[in-house]
Amino acid sequence: MSFLLGVVIFVVALLISVMLHEAGHFVTAKMFGMKVTQFFVGFGQTIWSTKKGETEYGIKAIPAGGFNKIVGMTELEDVDPADEPRSFRRQAAWKRIIVLAAGSFMHFVLALFLLFVVAAGVGLETASSTSTVGAVEACVPANVNSGCTTKDPSSPAKKAGLHAGDKIVSIGGVPVHNWTQMGKAIRSQAPGTPVTVVVDRNGRQVTLHPSFAELKGKGTYLGVSPQVVFQRKCPLSAVSYAASEWWTMLKGSAQVAADLPKAIPDLFHKNRASTPGGQVTSVVGAGDVTGQVLAARISWQPKVDLVLLIIASLNIFVGAFNLLPLLPMDGGHIAVVIYERARAWLARLRGKPDPGPADYRRLIPVSVGVFALLVSVGLLLVAADIFNPIHIQ
């Protein structure tokens, strides 16, 4: 049930994102006096609709997107002469650019809001200053940057019987009161030699004798991580966190898009999660990961944080990707508007008349080609997420 709830939450969040995207186009178009005849969520058969003023609002059967119908988006569209002055194509270039960019702007605003909620409402994960064990690592990995595999030996902490929630009192006879002191005590021990570790477990002291391992790139290794606490930030700090994390996610989205060609061969790799193929996913995969987060045996705070971060990162990626100068995306239409104005400016410099709007008929093959490529990659990602899904630890 938790998994299904996670998937439902993701689908609802996706629909809200789509509605906000279309609302961005709708509100700005209305603000500039353009005629908008339809505002729909979904595609396919109309389930419900109502008309208010000149605009029909409704829901369609397939919840996979949404659309606005703004009169006269291109020169190819036939427009009633009475509506021509209010058509999109007759508006100033700056107005058209604002309307086209408003969808991505709403994705970015939503992401910033969710990141603010993470910091100010739920709290940010920080390590406790005590010596209480938050988690016991399963293995001794090959190095500090790798995860556990079936070939890796169990961690000294796991072998010795350390439990999450144990408060480490002393290591090798040296008292420890916080994680910093504990780290120094661990590093002072020789790997491979049994060491006396005293822990407070539910009010009683338990003595254990782990033999510390050596971890490449780190040194002496016990295999425990600190207890995690969540601290809410003040509004100002939350805004700073949201802006910083938003920028980090934006750069990460750009990196994921750049690495996509390298990731495609690994989409059906047995260990996809540890390859570049594990860094890309479709909305199906993102929904699956959200379900896994909700089903995980962790407290509510990391669950909420992770779900909000997933939704925020998705919105940043979609918003940025939509601004790429490729038709049929909004960024492609913005590029056309900029091209038209640049061409008109050059013509004016040479004393020639404005060449007028770009010929969209010549752009149709490019638009169809880009659309076909996006659909192909999207279907490939969906297939990978269905037949070789990513499993989070």
Active-site positions read: 22
Amino acid at 12: V
- Whether the Cβ atoms of residue 333 and residue 40 lie closer than 8 Å to each other: no
> In whole angstroms, what separates CA 376 from the centre of its chain?
21
Packing angle, helices 283-295 and 300-322, rounded to 10: 170
Alpha carbons 244 and 113: distance in angstroms, whole number:
13
What DSSP designation does 122 have?
I
Alpha carbons 5 and 235: distance in angstroms, whole number:
30
- Whether the Cβ atoms of residue 87 and residue 80 lie closer than 8 Å to each other: no
Closest CA to 314 of 125, 124, 115: 115
293-296, Cβ contacts within 8 angstroms, sequence gap of 24 or more: 293/6, 293/392, 294/2, 294/3, 294/5, 294/6, 294/9, 295/2, 295/3, 295/6, 296/392
CA distances (Å), 191 to each of 2, 65, 160, 362, in order? 42, 57, 14, 70
Alpha carbons 334 and 350: distance in angstroms, whole number:
25
Which pairing describes strands 174-175 and 197-201: parallel, antiparallel, or unpaired?
A: unpaired
> In whole angstroms, what separates CA 144 from the centre of its chain?
25
For 42-65, b/e burial (b = at least 16 CB within 10 A) is beeeeeeeeeeeebbeeebeebee
Q: Facing residues of 246 across strands?
A: none
Closest CA to 116 of 241, 244, 230, 247: 241
Alpha carbons 230 and 226: distance in angstroms, whole number:
13
If phi > 0 it is left, if psi is from -120 to 50 it is alpha, else beta; for residue 202 that is left
